Amino acid sequence: MLIGLDARTIYRPTRRGTGKNLIDLYTHLADTRPDWQVVAYHRHPGPVDTLLPRETVQPKFIEMVGDRVDAWQRWRLPMAAWRDNLNVLHCPANACPAWMPVNTVVTIHDLIPLDMAASRRATDVRRFEQSVRTACRRAAGIICPSKYTRDRLVRQFNADPDRITVNAWAPDSSVRPVPQERWQPVLDEYGVDRPFVLHFGAAAPRKNTRGLIEAWAMSKHAIRKQWQLLIIGLDPQTHTRMAAAVKQLGLQDSVCLHGFAREQHLPTLLSAAEVLAYPSLSEGFGLPILDAWAAGTAVMTSNSTSLPEVAADAAVLVDPIDCCSIARAINQLCSEHRLREELVEMGRHRLRFYSWEKTAQRFAYAIERAAETTRLVRARAAA
C-alpha cells in the first residue's frame, strides 16, 4: 500500500494539535501495517526532522511558484499524488483538493469555520464550505474524530454515513505523569509559585481565553490569592490584548500569560497543574482533555459541541458562554481536593477507550476501504 499524506502541519515551524496527532498516528500505523509506505508531502524548504518512522515514511518537498488561493493543495498536491501512483491520498486537516485523480480520504475534524464565521474572512468561510461539500460528495472516505462531527456532516451536507469512519484521537504519546521533584525548574520559567489552573490560550475567540479571564475575576478572592491561572500558547498580539484585560481586571498577581510553550515542557505543566480549564466554545473533539487525564490532572470543560462526548462524567462541565458558570466551576475545583482526585480517577478509567493502537487500526481499515474502491474502479475501467 502506498499512501500520500499532506504533511504540512507536521513540518510547520510551530507544531500544534493536528501535526502532533499525525506523528502519533503514522508512528502507530507503521506498527499496525509495517509493509505500507507513506509519502509525506510538505512545503518546508529546509531540512525536516525525522519524527516519523524512516523505514515507512518518506518526506517529499513539493512547491508551487505563485501559489494563490491554496492552489498547492487544490492542484499541486493531487498532481504529485497522481504522478507517484498512490493507492490513497490522505488530507488530514479539514480540507481537500478540488481535483482527485487518486482516491482521497479526508479527515474533517470540525465545522468551526462555519460556526465562528463572524471572526473569519467571508472568502475563507466560503472556500472551507466548498471543500467540505467536495469531500462529502467525492472523497472515497471521510474520517471524523467524533460522532458530533459525523452527525453534522450527514445532517448539513448530506454525507453518506457509510463512507464516514468515526475515529477518536488518543492522548499525546509524550504526555505522562512527571514526578513532582522535576517540576520546579519548568514552573520557575513560567512564573508559577503556587497551585495553578492551566489553560491553552489562543487568538481564536472559540478558545474562550478572554471569557476564562473574566470568569477568573469573578471567582472567590481567596481562590485568586492562593491559586494562579497560567495561560500558555499566546502569540504576541494576543498576549498584548490579554495582558490589557488582566490589568484592567486587576488580576496581575494571579494570572500568568505566556507564549508558546516548548513541547518538552507540556507534560510537566500538565502534571503540575491541579486543573485544566478548557471552556471552549466549539470543538470537533477535545484532545487536551485526554492529555490532562494522561498526566493525572482534573478537567473543567464545556457542556456543548463534542466535549461532553469525550469528557462524559469525568470532568466538570460548564456553559462556556456564561462566565458565572465557569467561575462556579473554578471555585468548586480549587476548593475541593477530593473532587479533583475523583475526576482524575474517572479520567484514567475513560482513557482505556482511547489508545493509538485502536486509532491506527480504525484508520488502516478506512484506508483499505478507500484503496479497495480504487481497485474496483480501475478494474471496471480496464473491462
* Residue with the three cell numbers 469512519: 165
Indicate whether 295 and 212 sit together in one domain: yes
Helices (H) and strands (E) counted in the chain, each on its own, are 16, 13
* Model pLDDT, residue 378: 43
**Alpha-helical runs (H) found in 158-315:** 184-189, 209-218, 221-226, 236-248, 266-272, 287-295, 307-311
CA dihedral angle for residue 5, residue 11, residue 14, residue 20, rounded to 10 degrees = 50
Cβ contacts of 271 within 8 Å, gap of 6 or more: 177, 178, 180, 183, 295, 296, 297
217 occurs within a structural domain: yes
* Model pLDDT, residue 234: 95
CA–chain centroid gap for 362, Å, is: 18
Indicate whether 329 and 185 sit together in one domain: yes
Cβ contacts of 72 within 8 Å, gap of 6 or more: 43, 62, 63, 64
Kindly report the CATH number assigned to the domain that includes residue 261: 3.40.50.2000
269 occurs within a structural domain: yes
175 occurs within a structural domain: no
221 occurs within a structural domain: yes
Indicate whether 44 and 81 sit together in one domain: yes
Contact 51, 10 (CB under 8 A): yes
User: Which DSSP string corresponds to 328-382?
Assistant: HHHHHHHH-HHHHHHHHHHHHHHGGG--HHHHHHHHHHHHHHHHHHHHHHHHHHH
Cα separation values, 189 from 117, 193, 238, 262, Å: 37, 10, 20, 11
* Model pLDDT, residue 276: 98
Cβ burial 128-137 (10 Å sphere, 16+ → b, else e):
bbebbebbbe
Q: Is 283 helix (H, G, I), strand (E, B) or coil?
A: coil
Indicate whether 339 and 359 sit together in one domain: no
Contact 53, 26 (CB under 8 A): yes
The residues with which 275 forms a beta bridge, in sequence order, are: 197, 298
Query: pTM for the complete prediction?
Result: 0.90
Indicate whether 112 and 197 sit together in one domain: no
Cα separation values, 351 from 1, 113, 296, 311, 316, Å: 31, 29, 11, 10, 17
143 occurs within a structural domain: yes
Indicate whether 38 and 148 sit together in one domain: yes
* Model pLDDT, residue 379: 43
* Model pLDDT, residue 380: 38
Indicate whether 362 and 341 sit together in one domain: no
What grid cell was written down for 348? 484514567
151 occurs within a structural domain: yes
- Identity of the amino acid at 250: G
Indicate whether 80 and 184 sit together in one domain: no
- Identity of the amino acid at 16: R
pLDDT tens, N- to C-terminus, the chain (383 residues): 999 999 999 987 667 778 889 999 999 999 999 999 999 999 887 777 767 888 999 999 998 776 666 788 888 999 999 999 999 999 999 999 989 999 999 999 999 999 988 888 898 899 999 999 999 999 999 999 999 999 999 999 999 999 999 999 999 988 999 999 999 999 999 999 999 999 999 989 999 999 999 999 999 999 999 999 999 999 999 999 999 999 999 999 999 999 999 989 999 999 999 999 999 999 999 999 999 999 999 999 999 999 999 999 999 999 999 999 999 999 999 999 999 999 999 999 999 999 999 999 999 999 999 998 754 444 433 44
| Count of beta carbons in the 10 Å neighbourhood of residue 70 | 17
Indicate whether 160 and 31 sit together in one domain: yes
Q: Please name which of 271, 294, 279, 296 lies closest in space to residue 351, comparing C-alpha atoms.
A: 294
| Count of beta carbons in the 10 Å neighbourhood of residue 247 | 11
Indicate whether 204 and 329 sit together in one domain: yes
Eight-state DSSP code of residue 43: -
CA–chain centroid gap for 162, Å, is: 24
How many domains, the chain? 2
Domain that holds residue 297: 180-350
329 occurs within a structural domain: yes
45 occurs within a structural domain: yes
What grid cell was written down for 283? 470543538
CA–chain centroid gap for 343, Å, is: 22
Question: Rounded to whole angstroms, how far apart are CA atoms 107 and 258?
Answer: 31
From the number of C-beta atoms within 10 Å of its C-beta (0-12, 13-18, 19+), residue 316 rates as: buried
Cα separation values, 299 from 187, 313, 316, Å: 20, 10, 7
Indicate whether 132 and 25 sit together in one domain: yes
Indicate whether 164 and 184 sit together in one domain: no
